Amino acid sequence: MLALQFTGCGKTDEVQETAGTQDKDYIYAADYQDLEADGYTTGSMIFGEDEKVYFAGSSEEGIKQLFSMDIGAGESTASPVPVELEADAYISAIGTDSEGNLLLGIVKYADTAVNIAADNVNAAEDDNVSAEDAGSGIGGVEIRKISLDGQTLESVDVMNVLGKVKDLYIQNVLADKDGNYYVNANQSVYVLKPSGEMLCELQAGTYIQSLFRMKDGTVVVGFYGDTGWRLQSVDLSGKALKDLNSSISFGYGTYQAGVDADILYTQDTKLYTCNLSDTEPTEVLDWLESDINSTSLQSVKLLKDGRIAALSMDFMSEQSKPELIVLTKKDRSEVSGKTTLTYGTVIVPYYLSNDIAAFNKQSDKYRIEVKQYGDDSMDDDARVALLAADLAGGKGPDLIDMVFNFTSLDKFISMGALEDLTPYLENDAVIKREDYFENVLNTYARDGKLYAIIPCFGISTIVGKVSDVGDKKSWTMDDTINLMDSKPEDTQILDYNTKNSILQLLCSMNMGEFVDAETGTCDFTGGEFKRILEFSNQFPKEVSNDSDSGFVDRIRNGQLILMQGNITSVQQFQMYEYIFKEEINFIGYPTIGESGSVIRSNGTTAGMNVNSKNKEGAWEFLKFNLTKDRQENLQLANGGFPTMKEALEKQFAKDVEAEYYEDTDGTQKEKSKSTWTYGSGTDNITMDVYSATQEQVARVREIIEQSVGLDGTESEEMLSIISEEAQSYFEGQKSADDVAALVQNRLQTYINETR
Amino acid sequence: MKKELKTPKKEKIKSANSLRKKGERGKRISCVFLSPSILGVLVFFVVPFLVVIYYSVVDNPINHSFVFLDNFRNVFNNGAFRQAAFNTMKFSLIAVPLAVVLALGLALLLDSKIPFRSQFRTFFLTPMMVPIASIVLIWQVLFHYNGMVNDVIGLFGAGKIDWLKSDYAQIVIIVLFLWKNLGYNMILFMAALSSIPKDILEVAVLESAKPRQIFFYIKLRYLSSTLLFVTIMSLINSFKVFREIYLLTGSYPYNTLYMMQHFMNNTFGSLDYQKLSAAAIMMSIVMVILIGILFLTENYFGKDVEG
Amino acid sequence: MTFRKSVLKGTGTALSDRVFIKKKKKRDRRTFEKRALATIIAAFFAVLFLMPIILTVTNSFMSASEISSNYGQVFSTTDTGGKTYISEKVNLKFIPDIVSFSQYITVLLKSPDYLFKFWNSVILVVPIVGFQLLVAALASYGFTRYRSRIKEIIFFVYIILMLMPYQVTLVPNYLVSGWLNIIDTRWAIWLPGIFSPFAVYLLTKFMRRIPTSVIEAAQIDGAGEWQIFRRICMPLCKGCMCSIAILIFIDYWNMVEQPLILLSDEAMHPLSVFLSKINAGEIGLAFAVATIYMVPTLLVFLYGEDYLVEGITYQGGIKG
């Protein structure tokens, strides 16, 4: 009846296959080609209706050019397509119409020539950042229809329609069979008549990921809306977006028109094709099997000869490099003499696919394949149970993902499934243990044995003003309660906090007080637990949004005292300082221990299966993520601190270094490192982050050094029992004593059982 | 009385010899009949069970080092296991006999030529159809702290009781179990009652036997194998009631509701297979003994009617 | 023996078969009183037993909003996964404020999901019922004919295996399915279902009560084992098989654990899984789904109830 543990979670419809990848006897082998090889920076790129790839490039000297390359014919060099462009105009987007011609979305700048194509590629990565004056002075917008050899067939000036759009950035353009143009720009699709007049503007309210024309001529947009991924068709008669009628549940991904089928799309790590009338999509391939990071894919083309071409732009690495990838189907055996290792996990986050793809690409001895356990209908425990069953049956993966919770770490240890990595780490020729933060490594150590390698981490903590929380390294629950008592009645301790969340927070940090792990007894009936109950009861039952001032104001004027924070960079520290506008202290969660700031994994964190037949290979992968090269690039890829001290220092050095640019009036100004937005909805704050001071870096270093790993005594099950019982107290229907007795009764069973 | 109960002697078979020859072949053929089932049971039930036995004597399913009885000792000393074993036994010892006796009572009730018998019979069976969601909803609404039962007893001035989180919890679950299973048990008894040869009952009546005597000396004897059968079915169903308990109260309910399946389910969740397996083996041993006793009892009481 | 005592208590009022011929009038009146009492008791139980099914059906005609305002908090969970506390009074409500077919319209017309799941249930259950009966019929015949010590022991093992709670063999079952490579296919549900000892136990119990004389008579007439099985045994077992079919059907129609563990693809899950994990968001449709879900069981019952009553024990007279 374990099965019933599967039940707590909500219902999701996403279809995911758990099947291992090993059972296919073929594999798609990838060939990569750098599209920037000849000194051009590549911007927009697409596959044409033929088997050619078209891309816009601009050279250092400001020459802009449209290139084409016939992949179907096996060409490996691009040839220019003669297109006339004015000096300050560039091709923002390339598209197709239904007659096999190309469409160019051309934007002309009024003022100085900038290397815009490249800039705008970056802007596409995150539209928050696009504020960087991309479209401030637009001098002209044109949609140009050209034949495949570059002859202009039609040129429509749409300046008076699109020129008004603030910060215009054209992402996609296409035409339907009636000759109407569809322009995807700035969270909207603009539909223009063949003459260039506006037919309608369809707002998605968010970044539109995909715009394409299906084979029946319907134009479809895909974006991540409030309720999840939406795939909608453009309904011109109703001038609205209309949900597609299909029983397939589509999820976040990259969508485009299929060749024979309606839609071709990449979701998670897999490429699917489907007709809308299908009940399930057909899987074409798993990108990860070919060591391709599916998150960086822009567009895919199924070639007639069975090969598959893809355009990829990797925004995660330092230089976003546009690549053409051509996949050829090969017999699994002929492809690699590589030994295959499996990586067992319950979900595949982007950084995992990143790391595995990178490892596979560089290793000539090993290949990692992901085996995913469970699907969205299961909760984490149930998924972990499936993984465990495989381990017990001797079919377990070589590498076991350990990112998600500490309780599963303890379960796997008690199962005896995890190899102690200490000897590997200590005997390695390249990696030296002392080069890494010991407290971070120890997050995954128990009884002196190291069970997983954590290459990248963040710190979860509580932030407050020094004037409130003092400059101590940690505080106890009593300190917290006293602080609250000293404040006026309507002061809030944490935003968005309820009776329940405070109760959980306090209990999880103080579980050690109630539970005696040695004797296996617990005591909730003493005064301490009741105090927590009473304290939590002062908070509102539900998150209230009745305060008319934003959270930043409330923090600055003292109505709100603390913030829960997750820092993964110095810039975040700077942001918190900016929010509080006062000296701050990362005091951490209330605890009786030494520190209440907790280390959390923020990247591929894995352990090794004791029974792995390829321990050497497994270690190769774990070690790969610790290498200097990987560690130094982590901040950009994962947004966390690297575990390697040297790499962290290098990152710090970057954080304090200021970059300047010359302003229009000739003065030197510091360039902002990035722009941060914190908050939700309308209640948010945006700040530009500049170089950090040595002081700030020192503070971050200090926090990192003093943070601890969780010891796993907090268990979700216990917290959920506590909060379930506490509700009757919060409702005023039972006394604190009754609740404490019930909690005692149920948790004692729990504790007995785990002994 | 005793005389009538004796079964008529078997008819002597004349051509015993030829049958014996056929018998040898027949034995082999009967094995052919058995083979698909035995094969399937081996693969899907016996082999898994052997794996359970194996797990129960190794330190963990990865290391495979033999520890003999260590797991059993650990489990036996585990407070939660003891609690679970006690609760489960208590539940079965109360609920199963109740389910048998009350069902027999209902069967006799319907046997007594009351009007609408067949309608009643159908009504009593309906709980078997109701999906679990409805059952959980109804029990939750009835027995919650703010539920209907407290409402009703409140009318009589009684204080509120948190039924599922107090020492009354087991009663609630027993009621649930009875409600679900009485109907089917009753049907079994009705069938058995109607199969008692009418002539025997008539003779008893003619000989002025009291109803009580008829019940104990005739009906109960004829029912003995059904009694065993109903007991076994109720035992199976008493394990199935866990599903409802779980959905009503979660993995760690009030301690009197904490059943063996909670223990197994939770240890499975925490991947502690060796603990799970040792507990399972101990439970099976108890079950073997229990069924053994039931069989012996049946043999003792029911021999003379069945043969 | 406490056993007997309680039997006595339980049935004291029910025994109305007084047999004395004297004082006829008085006897008649007493019988009448007893019958009336028995009827009242039966009626009382009947109401208790019928309540949930009536509730399920009547509530299926409430609008989704009426349902969630009535029972929403029973099924809602907290963000930590625990059950929410029911803070206000909850009552069962039998009669809808407004009779609405919106639940049915949604379930039957708007979201085909539920019908798919219903179909999944059928696909999973029907083969199990059919083939479990077939395998069991053969095996029971094997157990019945030429009884031997070994067979008795095997039969005992069947009973023990039948009694094991599902938790016991959960892990190994998953392992075995893995070895056979049938995880995530319907075979992982079908095969253990088909070979379940349950029907073997029931059918063997029944067949052993068929008088050997019947079989021996056929044997003397020269019938082979297959013919005896096919022509003598099976017709006699027809009623019993029907009643077992009903039991198996109900059992598997309600299965929850097996599909959750062995079929990770939610698209293959039967309706019973959905009904076991109703949460606050779905409660508005739950009753209509539950009602539709009960229809097959109801049909099976209506069609087979007589078999259920007569089928389990052999009726042809008890002879050694």
Q: What is the predicted ipTM?
A: 0.84
Q: What is the largest CA-CA distance in chain A?
A: 85
CB contact under 8 A, C87 and A13: no
CB B112 within 8 A of CB C35: yes
Q: Which of B36, B132, B268 sits opposite C138 (nearest CB)?
A: B36
CB contact under 8 A, C257 and A4: yes
Mention every residue, 6+ apart, whose C-beta is less than 8 A from residue C146: B23, B26, B27, B30
Tokens of B237: 């169903």
Q: Which of chain C's residues have a Cβ under 8 Å away from the Cβ of B151?
A: 89, 91
Write out residues 137-196 of C within 8 Å (CB-CB) of B: 138-139, 141-143, 145-146, 148, 151, 154, 156-165, 167-173, 175-176, 180, 191-192, 194-196
| Stretch (H or E) spanning A629 | helix A628-632
pLDDT tens across A540-554, in order?
877 766 566 778 888
Our count of domains for chain C comes to 2
Of C277, C267, C260, C275, the residue nearest C183 (C-alpha): C260
Whether residue C254 sits in one domain with residue C143: yes
- Residue B191 neighbours by CB distance under 10 Å: 21
Half-sphere exposure of B209 (CA within 13 A, CB side): 20
CB contact under 8 A, A416 and B258: no
Provide the pLDDT confidence category of residue C60 given band limits of 50, 70 and 90: confident
Q: Which chains would you list as touching C if contact means 3+ CB atom pairs under 8 Å? A: A, B
CB contact under 8 A, B247 and A7: yes
- What are the residue boundaries of the structural domains of chain A, listed by start? 26-335, 339-456+602-650, 458-600+669-754
In a domain, C76, yes or no: yes
Q: Which of C166, C167, C184 sits opposite A18 (nearest CB)?
A: C184
Per DSSP, the three-state class of A736 is helix
pLDDT of residue B21: 58
d(C-alpha C174, C-alpha B61), whole Å: 14
DSSP output for A574-600: HHHHHHH-S-EEE-BS--SSS-B-EEE
CB B229 within 8 A of CB B104: no
Half-sphere exposure of A547 (CA within 13 A, CB side): 18
Which chain C residue's Cα is nearest to B109? C14
Query: Which regions of chain A are under pLDDT 50?
Result: 1-22, 112-136
In a domain, C19, yes or no: no
The shortest C-alpha distance from A220 to chain B (Å) reads 40
CB B148 within 8 A of CB B142: yes
d(C-alpha B156, C-alpha B148), whole Å: 13
Whether residue C169 sits in one domain with residue C301: yes
At the fourth CATH level, which superfamily is domain A26-335? TolB, C-terminal domain (2.120.10.30)
Q: Which of C90, C266, C268, C273 to mutate to test the interface with A (most CBs of A within 10 A)?
A: C266
Q: Which of C112, C256, C258 sits opposite A4 (nearest CB)?
A: C256
Whether residue C209 sits in one domain with residue C275: yes
Tokens of A293: 């990071």
Query: Which regions of chain B are under pLDDT 70?
Result: 1-24, 26, 301-307
pLDDT of residue C132: 94
Whether residue C210 sits in one domain with residue C303: yes
Whether residue C261 sits in one domain with residue C157: yes
A754 touches chain B (CB under 8 A): yes
Whether residue C239 sits in one domain with residue C113: yes
Q: Which chains would you list as touching A if contact means 3+ CB atom pairs under 8 Å? A: B, C
CB contact under 8 A, A392 and B269: no
Average pLDDT over residues C238-259: 86
d(C-alpha B24, C-alpha B13), whole Å: 17
Annotate B30-63 with b (16+ C-beta within 10 A) or e (fewer). bbebbebbbebbebbbbbbbebbeebbbbebbbe
- Residue A119 neighbours by CB distance under 10 Å: 16
Interface residues on C facing A, Cβ-Cβ cutoff 8 A:
77-85, 87, 112-113, 165-167, 170-171, 174-175, 178-179, 184, 256-258, 260-261, 264-267, 269, 276-277, 279, 281-282
Tokens of C75: 């099924």
| Stretch (H or E) spanning A522 | strand A521-522
Q: Which of C78, C170, C179 sits opposite A500 (nearest CB)?
A: C78
Q: Which of C11, C194, C275 sits opposite B105 (nearest CB)?
A: C11
B83 touches chain A (CB under 8 A): yes
Provide the pLDDT confidence category of residue C318 given band limits of 50, 70 and 90: very low
Name the domain boundary from C60, C76, C106.
C106
Name the domain boundary from C89, C106, C123.
C106
Per 3-state DSSP, chain B is made up of helix, strand and coil in percentages (nearest 5) of 80, 0, 20
CB A186 within 8 A of CB A173: no
Q: Which of C269, C277, C278, C279 to mutate to test the interface with A (most CBs of A within 10 A)?
A: C277
CB A609 within 8 A of CB A417: yes
Q: Which of chain A's residues have a Cβ under 8 Å away from the Cβ of C178?
A: 389-390, 393, 395
Specify the pairing of strand A366-372 against strand A339-345.
Answer: parallel
Q: Do domains A339-456+602-650 and A458-600+669-754 have the same CATH topology?
A: yes
Q: Which of B60, B78, B162 sits opposite A415 (nearest CB)?
A: B60
Tokens of B257: 């509701």
Name the domain boundary from C46, C76, C106.
C106
Rg of chain A (C-alpha set): 28
pLDDT of residue A153: 86
Of B63, B84, B48, B7, the residue nearest B283 (C-alpha): B84
CB B61 within 8 A of CB A391: yes
CB C124 within 8 A of CB C117: no
Whether residue C173 sits in one domain with residue C121: yes
Bridge partners, A230 (sequence order): A223
Which chain C residue's Cα is nearest to B116? C39
DSSP output for A17-68: ----STT-SEEEEEEEEETTTTSEEEEEEEE-SSSEEEEEEEETTS-EEEEE
Which chain C residue's Cα is nearest to B55? C172
Which chain A residue's Cα is nearest to C258? A3
The CATH class, in words, for A458-600+669-754 is alpha beta
Q: Is the pTM of this model over 0.90?
A: no
A119-to-A90, A138, A141, A203, A668 alpha-carbon distances in Å: 12, 15, 18, 24, 21
CATH architecture of A339-456+602-650: 3-Layer(aba) Sandwich (3.40)
At C197, which amino acid appears? P
Whether residue C85 sits in one domain with residue C186: no
Q: Which of C191, C220, C287 sits opposite B44 (nearest CB)?
A: C191
Which chain B residue's Cα is nearest to A609? B62
CB C136 within 8 A of CB B37: yes
Q: Which residue carries 């095997």 as its tokens?
A: C154
Q: Which of chain C's residues have a Cβ under 8 Å away from the Cβ of A724?
A: 78, 82-85
CB contact under 8 A, C267 and A375: no
CB contact under 8 A, C112 and A374: no
Q: Which of A411, A727, A733, A750 to mutate to test the interface with C (most CBs of C within 10 A)?
A: A727
In a domain, C12, yes or no: no
CB A444 within 8 A of CB A402: yes
CB contact under 8 A, C250 and B128: yes
Q: Which of chain A's residues have a Cβ under 8 Å away from the Cβ of B63?
A: 416, 610
Specify the pairing of strand A399-401 against strand A606-608.
Answer: antiparallel
The shortest C-alpha distance from B166 to chain C (Å) reads 16
Write out residues 223-252 of C within 8 Å (CB-CB) of B: 224-226, 229, 250
Bridge partners, A516 (sequence order): A521
Whether residue C213 sits in one domain with residue C67: no
d(C-alpha B212, C-alpha C8), whole Å: 8
Per DSSP, the three-state class of A644 is strand
Whether residue C28 sits in one domain with residue C133: no
CB contact under 8 A, B62 and A417: yes
Cβ burial of B228 (10 Å; 0-12, 13-18, 19+) is buried
Ordered structural domains, chain B, with CATH: 2-13+72-306 (1.10.3720.10)
DSSP output for A409-454: HHHHHHHT-B---HHHHHH-SS--GGGB-HHHHGGGEETTEE--B-
CB contact under 8 A, B63 and A610: yes
d(C-alpha B126, C-alpha A591), whole Å: 55
Cβ burial of A690 (10 Å; 0-12, 13-18, 19+) is middle
Mention every residue, 6+ apart, whose C-beta is less than 8 A from residue C171: A389, A392, B51, B52, B55, B268, B273, B276, B277
Q: Which of A414, A417, A746 sits opposite B252 (nearest CB)?
A: A746
Whether residue C236 sits in one domain with residue C195: yes
Per DSSP, the three-state class of A386 is helix
Give the domain extent around C61. Answer: 24-106
Whether residue C33 sits in one domain with residue C170: no
At A265, which amino acid appears? Y
